Amino acid sequence: SMKKSWTCSCIQCLKKLLIRNLQNNMKLTVGSLFSGIGGFEIGFEKVGFKTKWFIEKDLYCQAILKKNFPSVPIYGDITTLDFNKLNKVDILVGGFPCQPHSTANNRRQGATDYRDLWSEYYRAIQFFRPKWIVIENVKGLHTSNRGSYFGKILFLMAFCLY
């Protein structure tokens, strides 16, 4: 299916990036949005990437990040953050809140939900213009707002030449 081939091609691109990073002893940098407890970043660090900063509002998650990444700065609320304070990075990674799009939510509201923070992820993409973007979210994102929400994300990524 189209979805499967799109996902597979993205995974192949990431594999090539990882191999090139290891072979050339490059230190590509990672900036983390909606970081949670840093799962993506642990994986990236294990293959030689360097996490430069986290943006995570949840205090429990911040405590875990501080324990696992003691020298990496953590910023709180992305909606009030001035990105000029952060270092430029090669890769932006993260998953904006999924509740507005999850099929587990009987009242999912998509773009009208106050927890929908895709616009903040997009603001970061426009500001940092990283080489790579890794966006994680729930399966329901594909059908949120009858599919138009995911279509908007793809359109904006194409508009930014990703």
Tell me the residue type at 72. Answer: V
Q: What letter would DSSP give residue 70?
A: T
Q: Which residues are within 8 A (CB) of 120 and not within 5 positions of it... i.e. 6 or more apart? A: 33, 78, 79, 96
Helix (H, G, I), strand (E, B) or coil at 54: strand
Nearest to 142 by CA among 115, 102, 92: 102
Identify the active-site residue in 8, 10, 98, 160: 98
Q: Is 10 a catalytic residue?
A: no
> Which residues are catalytically annotated?
98
